[in-house]
Amino acid sequence: MSKQKMLQFVSVAKEMPEKREAEARAHDFNEIYAEYADTKAAEQAARCSQCGVPYCQAHCPLHNNIPDWLRLTAEGRLQEAYEMSQYTNTFPEICGRICPQDRLCEGNCVIEQSGHGTVTIGSVEKYITDTAWDEGWVQPIKPAEERPESVGIIGAGPGGLAAADRLRRAGIQVTVYDRHDRAGGLLTYGIPGFKLEKDVVMRRVAQLEEGGVEFVLNCNVGSDISFDAIRGKHDAVLIATGVYKARDLTGPGAGAAGIVAALDYLTASNRVSFGDDVPEYDSGELNANGKRVVVIGGGDTAMDCVRTAIRQGAESVKLLYRRDRANMPGSQREVQNAEEEGVEFVWLSAPQGFAGDPVEAVMVQKMRLGPPDATGRQTPEVIEGADYAEPADLVIKALGFEPEDLPTLWGEEALEVTRWGTIKAEFGTHATALPGVYAVGDIVRGASLVVWAIRDGREAADSILTYLAQPASVAAE
């Protein structure tokens, strides 16, 4: 491949990888963006202005060496680009697909700020590591030496897996426990295939298994095995259990049949994609086919639900959100994708109650944005007399998640939590109040992002290595 000069942003326009037509992609769960052709990846990487102070890197939670791997890609030195990329990121091809780049690296790209359109950092990151997989450069972990110490990790989501990878590379014996039958956490059962195809996650799990990480699946810590027993089996423990207590709806009729929780709905759909038997899908309970679907919420989960419903063949799909488009937490790029696929966004609207059992309609209150509150965010206010009934056969609640009460569930009152119920862990080391116990990801941050869970997992692994290297008397303090 020819060597590309950098700083091409003045003459080369920003170009994302080809996006499949909305009509075609609305019928399957495959990803919507194609891979860059080699020449296109090099051309787009060459748009980077190689800033002295790269804001993209500063705003990437992993501080990826973005300008350097862009330059290596532009020069066709892909194996070196891959090595540099995976040095700071355990799962670059996953982040390249699902990070909200507009809020992180790409949103802070200097050429974006100067009006030329950002370098397509996420798509190049994905391209580099997908190429590495195709070329056989991604290999199972082979530690230089085996060490006797063992670490138990509770939760096989991105936080737990990133820590498992790093600890195993250091030769530690790693066991990952998860209550699901497959590893991956929300990468496997939350995020739909049209954002992240499942084989991309499963090949990482297989790589870890081949590298000696032991997975104990279908194992709910707190019922199948006690937290205490896990502490007794291992020299250190990492809690990476995520947040799963769904916020609920109140109001008349909220308990009617046909009103379902977002994660139940998405998990069923993801299981169908794996080819599993899913009775709740076959019975229609968690299947939008032929239905008028209303999704309530404004975050990533709500966006994933509406786009899943379209693919299941819903008659109509509407998303109710109590604020407006500008104040929605979900990614604007995803809003655009959803609109292209036929989702209708009903802004400034909130459910007041539900009619029928099974549900027949959502009673909708219209809202306006009032004056800003103490945080500066405008508060939604009800517009009196503007209520109406929105017909619905399936209502999906996507109002966010809170942590489960782990100290009670696990009978470990000394495990300190914050007033929000998240586990208290020291900034940087991720150490909890219990000696030798660390915590990372959503269970510490509250519902967050994959890239932050990966960062936490990597940092906690380093702290655990330091802890294990201490004399036993110091470690027990």
Ligand X SMILES: Cc1cc2nc3c(=O)[nH]c(=O)nc-3n(C[C@H](O)[C@H](O)[C@H](O)COP(=O)(O)OP(=O)(O)OC[C@H]3O[C@@H](n4cnc5c(N)ncnc54)[C@H](O)[C@@H]3O)c2cc1C
Binding positions for ligand X, rule: CB under 6 A: 98-99, 154-160, 177-180, 185-186, 190-191, 195, 220-222, 240-242, 266, 300-301, 304, 441-442, 448-451, 453
Q: What is the CA radius of gyration of the chain?
A: 23
x/- contact string, 70-89, with ligand SF4 (CB under 6 A)?
A: -------------------x
Min dist CB 297 to ligand X, Å, is 10
Nearer to ligand X by Cβ, of 258 and 441: the residue is 441
Which residue do the tokens 């769960």 mark? 29
Position 157 contacts ligand SF4 (CB under 6 A): no
Q: For ligand SF4, how many residues bind (rule: CB under 6 A)?
A: 15
Which residue do the tokens 């195709």 mark? 134
Position 457 contacts ligand SF4 (CB under 6 A): no
Position 60 contacts ligand SF4 (CB under 6 A): yes
Positions 100 through 119 that interact with ligand SF4 (CB under 6 A) = 101, 104-105
| 62: partner contacted, choices ligand X, ligand SF4, none (Cβ within 5-8 A by kind) | ligand SF4
Min dist CB 449 to ligand X, Å, is 4
Position 64 contacts ligand SF4 (CB under 6 A): yes
Nearer to ligand X by Cβ, of 111 and 306: the residue is 306
| 395: partner contacted, choices ligand X, ligand SF4, none (Cβ within 5-8 A by kind) | none
User: Binding ligand SF4 by CB under 6 A: which of 99, 200, 293, 343?
Assistant: 99
| 160: partner contacted, choices ligand SF4, ligand X, none (Cβ within 5-8 A by kind) | ligand X
Position 66 contacts ligand SF4 (CB under 6 A): yes
| 304: partner contacted, choices ligand SF4, ligand X, none (Cβ within 5-8 A by kind) | ligand X
x/- contact string, 177-196, with ligand SF4 (CB under 6 A)?
A: --------------------
User: Binding ligand SF4 by CB under 6 A: which of 42, 121, 286, 367?
Assistant: 121
| 104: partner contacted, choices ligand SF4, ligand X, none (Cβ within 5-8 A by kind) | ligand SF4
| 293: partner contacted, choices ligand X, ligand SF4, none (Cβ within 5-8 A by kind) | none
Nearer to ligand X by Cβ, of 38 and 209: the residue is 209
Count CA atoms within 13 Å of residue 309 on its CB side: 34
Q: What Cα–Cα distance (Å) separates residue 259 from each residue in 295, 298, 340?
A: 10, 17, 26
Residues that bind ligand SF4 (CB under 6 A): 60, 62, 64, 66, 89, 95-96, 99, 101, 104-105, 121-122, 125, 451
